[in-house]
Amino acid sequence: MSEDVEYNFKIILVGEGGVGKSSLIRRYIHNQFDFNNPMTIGVDSEMKRLTLDGHSVMLHLWDTAGQEKFGSLTSQFIRGSHAAVLVYDITNQKSFQNLFRRWIDKVREWGTNNMVYMLIGNKADEEEKRQVTQELAVNKAKENNMLFLETSCMNCFNVEKAFQEIIGQMWNKNRIGSQNLNSVILGPRRGIQALDTEEIPKKPKRRWC
């Protein structure tokens, strides 16, 4: 199956337990959502095949456990990643703080210099319980040179778009000798470092899959 794959990209998702890392992957790969998604034990992975600019690309999505007891295991899997997705839950301030206390150091220690970083504030459907403002997250993302989006796995908000942004940046950074990237299927937003607050809708669109 992987014989004619020209590019392999590894994306690792990290963040506290329960923020929705597995749900993001599940929504993106299978277009499914489970209100009782099981907690990840150790590390899981999924693959997705894409065609980018006429080239066959395999995405390897590595889903890590947020629980601290799996921390050392997670670190080993960060190695060799082309992109790191740092996920927090917008209704849980601690999950945001710990990304910048605990997870970012791990990723920087074990990741490569050329890595793409994306900050994701998940559970955007739970606006009434919000503890992390978009403004704070946008500023953190800018400070740390990260892409940023809020998502909802429950109502499909921005999940596909988040992965498209990541893939677009990985493609730009890693495709050697690329002359013409205009025909890459990802659209014009590639290369954006972080979205301005005005660009993020105050309420997620209730777009059901």
Ligand X SMILES: Nc1nc2c(ncn2[C@@H]2O[C@H](COP(=O)(O)OP(=O)(O)OP(=O)(O)O)[C@@H](O)[C@H]2O)c(=O)[nH]1
Binding-site ranges for ligand X (CB under 6 A): 17-23, 34-37, 39-40, 65-67, 122-123, 125-126, 152-154
Stretch that binds Mg ion, among 17-25, 74-82, 118-126, 154-162 (CB under 5 A): 17-25
Cβ closer to ligand X: 64 or 169? 64
CA 47, CA 60: separation in Å to the nearest integer?
5
Q: Is 40 in the site for Mg ion (CB under 5 A)?
A: yes
Question: Closest separation between CB of residue 77 and Mg ion, Å?
Answer: 13
Question: Closest separation between CB of residue 95 and Mg ion, Å?
Answer: 13
Q: Is 64 in the site for Mg ion (CB under 5 A)?
A: no
Contact partner, 122, from Mg ion, ligand X, none, Cβ < 5-8 Å per class? ligand X
Applying CB under 5 A, the site for Mg ion has a residue count of: 3
**Residue 149 backbone class (left: φ over 0; alpha: ψ -120 to 50; beta: rest):** beta
Cβ closer to ligand X: 36 or 183? 36
Q: Which of 9, 13, 16, 22 binds Mg ion (CB under 5 A)?
A: 22
Report the candidate in 120, 205, 119, 189 with the shortest Cα–Cα distance to residue 156: 205
Stretch that binds Mg ion, among 32-40, 104-112, 116-124, 180-188 (CB under 5 A): 32-40
Question: Closest separation between CB of residue 38 and ligand X, Å?
Answer: 7
CA 120, CA 141: separation in Å to the nearest integer?
10
SS3 38: coil
Residue 17 CA, chain-centre distance (Å), reads 15
CA atoms within 13 A on the CB side of 117: 24
Could you tell me the end-to-end alpha-carbon distance of the chain, in angstroms, rounded to an integer? 29
Cβ closer to ligand X: 23 or 98? 23
Report the candidate in 110, 118, 109, 121 with the shortest Cα–Cα distance to residue 16: 121
Stretch that binds Mg ion, among 13-21, 89-97, 130-138, 147-155 (CB under 5 A): 13-21
Check if the beta carbon of residue 170 is closer than 8 Å to that of residue 116.
Answer: yes
The binding site for Mg ion (CB under 5 A) comprises: 21-22, 40
